[in-house]
Structure 1
Amino acid sequence: MAPELSWASAIKLTTAQTETLKTINRWLRDTDGDTHRRTMIPMRERSLEIFGDENALTHSPPPRCSHLDASTPDYPVHRADPTTPGL
């Protein structure tokens, strides 16, 4: 699992949350070291890139990202410090 998601092993996740994080983990693995693909972009664009659905992250944000919703569609999503509260 990507270091950015190591916190997930310490909490109880639903099946849907686990599947979402697996998809994000694959993206993190596949883009490791690729600064061009890791550039900060609006959440809808990142959601489309990762899930093929621009609304996937706005409708069902991963755990610890519950502050993201449809009212923040342009929230930039990028590789963040996993120790930052609320991420």
Structure 2
Amino acid sequence: SVKTSKEGEWFVLEVRDNGLGMSERCQEQLFTMFKRFHSHVEGTGIGLYIVKKIVDNAAGRVEVRSKEGEGTKFRVYLKC
């Protein structure tokens, strides 16, 4: 699911899934350039790295919360 909201001076974009979730180890490395966690899945490993750089350059932040077996939630905070 995708939601937007305003929290004080922040615009918040929330993306949530009900997939497999991620271990803490994966979450710690999630924004590392060229890091891929599954070799059987296509991709270059730069998508989330680029998202984080764009948000950081806009003085925002990205949060991830995930628990194995329960899905993942990303929240992107950008100043209004």
Q: TM-score, normalised by structure 2?
A: 0.31
Larger CA Rg, structure 1 vs 2: 2
Structure 1 or 2: larger strand share? 2
Select the structure that is richer in helix. Answer: 1
- The higher relative CO (CA closer than 8 Å, separation ≥ 6) is in 2
